[in-house]
């Protein structure tokens, strides 16, 4: 067990931020999370966070996964005093961090995310993990399923994942898995590339457009200059940034600020499913 007091870190906000889909509330400030083939339970009460894992596992994996070494107050401090909207959005979602997630899982997750909502994305991912992921047992005795490998999905018919409620997105996921297995898409190479080059490589995958590529770059590759634009962000920009979002002013942390905006627009002070 590892206990920490961490500024600008809120499990509820991260769970509801729309960047990860295998984190679930268990009530009373406790959450379960499956990532990188691992299972974690964590709890947050009165500013203290408890990670129910060994110190070595926390330092080797979860500390980096949650991006806990980064100073998010520094990012928020870059916001100009005159930008009331962005200041309010950042304050509203001040506990959000950009998670360092698995590249393959993010490719699948954001292929599924197209024309979809968070609740349905979660169910789709749960379905494909239950159907095609390897069964695991956590150190606490909890049974869970790892995220399915490209090899597990590449052998399927293109419409096979419709049974998991993916609809037309089934062919996107199966084709992406085949591209990785046959070597047309090299994940290790993409991990080494700078933002724009990685984005171009991702755009070669069937079904991946600009918004999806930027989500993958931000939430898997940690390219903080990526700035995904979906309906919520587009509406916010039309209302508050008619001359365009000041990218140069926030060079190197645009994606962090985008996430504050996204959460603020999505939540609107209401509970997110």
Which residues are identified as catalytic? Answer: 211
Quote the distance between the C-alpha of residue 89 and its chain's center: 19
- Main-chain phi, psi angles of 260, to 5 degrees: -60, -45
The SS3 assignment for 211 reads helix
Tokens, residue 216: 């993958």
Tokens, residue 198: 């990685």
Picking from 119, 120, 65, 57, the residue whose alpha carbon sits closest to that of residue 97 is 65
Residue with tokens 């508050």: 240
Tokens, residue 245: 């979002």
Burial class (CB in 10 A: 0-12, 13-18, 19+), 55: exposed
Q: Which residues contact 196 (CB under 8 A, 6 or more apart)?
A: none
Distance CA 83, CA 72 (A): 18
Distance CA 219, CA 129 (A): 19
Distance CA 71, CA 83 (A): 21
Distance CA 229, CA 125 (A): 22
């Amino acid at each position: 067990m590892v206990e920490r007091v961490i500024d600008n870190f809120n499990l509820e906000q991260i769970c509801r931020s729309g960047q990860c889909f295998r984190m679930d509330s268990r009530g009373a400030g406790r959450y379960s999370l499956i990532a990188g083939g691992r299972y974690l339970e964590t709890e947050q009460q009165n500013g203290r966070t408890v990670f129910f894992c060994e110190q070595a596992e926390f330092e080797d994996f979860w500390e980096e996964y949650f991006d806990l070494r980064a100073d998010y107050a520094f990012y928020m401090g870059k916001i100009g005093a005159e930008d009331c909207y962005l200041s309010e959005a950042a304050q509203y979602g001040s506990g959000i961090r950009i998670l360092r997630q698995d590249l393959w899982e993010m490719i699948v997750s954001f292929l599924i995310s197209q024309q979809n909502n968070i609740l349905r994305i979660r169910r789709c991912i749960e379905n494909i993990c239950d159907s095609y992921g390897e069964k695991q047992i956590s150190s606490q005795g909890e049974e869970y399923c790892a995220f399915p490998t490209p090899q597990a999905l590449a052998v399927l018919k293109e419409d096979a994942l419709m049974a998991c409620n993916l609809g037309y997105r089934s062919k996107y996921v199966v084709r992406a898995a085949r591209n990785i297995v046959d070597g047309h898409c090299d994940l290790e190479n993409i991990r080494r590339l700078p933002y724009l080059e990685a984005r171009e490589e991702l755009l070669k995958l069937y079904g991946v457009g600009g918004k999806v590529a930027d989500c993958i770059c931000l939430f898997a590759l940690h390219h903080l200059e990526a700035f995904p634009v979906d309906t919520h962000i587009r509406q916010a920009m039309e209302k508050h940034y008619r001359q365009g979002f000041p990218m140069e002013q926030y060079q190197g942390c645009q994606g962090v600020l985008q996430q504050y905006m996204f959460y603020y627009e999505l939540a609107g002070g209401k509970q997110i499913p």
